[in-house]
């Protein structure tokens, strides 16, 4: 068995040597150097080709990355372009809205200017009628003729009707309305507060609740708790509301021919009121400025606004404004609602003048 295996191995080895002998190429020594040089050149050519292959692979990879980045940038630019178009659309809508609002404001300003001019003309006519009535009254002094008295009463009725018309125009300019859902404890002109401090029986026919003038609340919180964190918008709204009240008071006083005890200097939301015998000492800033202290040492101006002013002086100015209202209310024979109810007194003044009883009084 062992001998058979050794014979098989010897036969296979012999076959391999025969195959090698058939494939083997005999190279002479003279051609050896040429073949060796040829193999070296082929090897260097293969290496150079591999290097070029690697270089082109790297270049292709980098170009692919650049292409990907350019695609990403293109997508981002498309998104930004869409956002820009949407912004342009929104800005276009806002521009149109602002133009429409500007036109409405201009129309409203023209309407108000026309109404103010008509009020001025009517005020002049009312002043002439009152002067005529005074002349007739002086000419009829001491007379007892029934005809003269009837004529005088008719003139007085016409004058009252004219006053009612003028005050109704003031009510259109500065409407005082009752609102719901606002804290009456913070309101200068609340009818609810007036009932607590005034005569409740007289107020049964009057709507209760906080009031606004031209849609603005007149709050007392900034006058009592003015500080660093006070709402600036509330302060500005209160100043604008006080300017409206001051203008309305000045117009009604001129129509009724009543000289105000505390004269007003109108300036919109920067109005002032004068006191000839002030009980509040002037501050150092007021002494330094000519706008608050006049040339007369007994006459001072107090601001009807809080911004940049002392809260005590502003509250005193509101108190004086209410005193002017009380003067007008008492002039037409009505009792004031109290020293803290500016809008309530103004509404009561307008309501009494526009009532039918005012003509016959």
The pLDDT tens digits of the residues spanning 69-88 come to 888 998 999 999 999 999 99
Which residues touch 199 (CB under 8 Å, ≥6 apart)? 335
pLDDT for 222 = 56
pLDDT for 281 = 59
Lowest mean pLDDT across 1-5, 72-76, 349-353: 1-5
The Cα 178–Cα 337 span in angstroms is 16
% of the chain exceeding 70 in pLDDT: 72
pLDDT for 298 = 66
pLDDT tens digits for range 170-199: 999 999 888 775 554 445 544 444 433 444
The pTM of this model reads: 0.53
Q: Give the confidence band of 246 by pLDDT, cuts at 50, 70, 90.
A: very high
Lowest mean pLDDT across 2-16, 241-255, 306-320: 2-16
306: pLDDT strictly greater than 50: yes
Q: What is the mean pLDDT of the chain?
A: 77
Q: Give the confidence band of 230 by pLDDT, cuts at 50, 70, 90.
A: low
42: pLDDT strictly greater than 80: yes
Write out the DSSP string of 156-205: HHHHHHHHHHHHHHHHHHS-EEE-SSS-GGGBTT-HHHHHHHS-TTTTTT
3-state secondary structure of 317: helix
264: pLDDT strictly greater than 90: yes
């Amino acid at each position: 068995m062992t001998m058979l295996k050794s014979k098989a191995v010897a036969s296979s080895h012999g076959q391999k040597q025969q195959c090698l002998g058939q494939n083997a190429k005999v190279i002479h020594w003279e051609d050896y150097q040429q073949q060796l040089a040829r193999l070296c050149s082929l090897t260097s050519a293969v290496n150079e080709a591999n290097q070029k292959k690697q270089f082109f692979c790297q270049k292709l990879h980098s170009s692919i990355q650049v292409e990907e980045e350019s695609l990403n940038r293109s997508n981002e630019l498309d998104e930004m372009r869409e956002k820009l178009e949407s912004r342009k659309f929104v800005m276009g809508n806002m521009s149109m809205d602002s133009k429409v609002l500007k036109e409405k404001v201009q129309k409203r300003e023209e309407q108000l200017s026309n109404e103010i001019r008509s009020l001025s003309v009517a005020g002049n006519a009312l002043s002439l009628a009152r002067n005529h009535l005074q002349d007739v009254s002086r000419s009829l002094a001491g007379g007892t003729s029934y005809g003269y008295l009837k004529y005088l009463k008719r003139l007085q009725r016409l004058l009252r009707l004219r006053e009612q018309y003028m005050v109704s125009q003031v009510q259109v300019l500065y409407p005082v309305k009752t609102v719901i859902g606002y804290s009456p404890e913070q309101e200068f002109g609340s009818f609810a507060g007036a009932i607590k401090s005034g005569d409740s029986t007289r107020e049964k026919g009057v709507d209760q609740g906080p009031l606004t003038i031209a849609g603005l609340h007149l709050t007392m919180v900034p006058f009592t708790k003015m500080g660093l964190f006070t709402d600036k918008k509330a302060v500005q709204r209160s100043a604008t509301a006080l300017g409206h009240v001051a203008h309305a008071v000045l117009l009604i006083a001129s129509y009724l021919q009543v000289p105000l005890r505390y004269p007003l200097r109108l300036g919109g939301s920067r109005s002032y009121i004068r006191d000839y015998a002030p009980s509040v000492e002037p501050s150092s800033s007021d002494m330094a400025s000519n706008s608050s202290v006049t040339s007369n040492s007994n006459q001072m101006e107090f601001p009807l606004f809080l911004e940049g002013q002392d809260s005590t002086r502003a509250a005193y100015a509101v108190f004086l404004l209410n005193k002017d209202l009380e003067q007008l209310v008492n002039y037409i024979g009505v009792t004031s609602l109290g020293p803290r109810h500016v809008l309530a007194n103004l509404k009561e003044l307008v309501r009494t003048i526009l009532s039918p009883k005012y003509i016959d009084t």
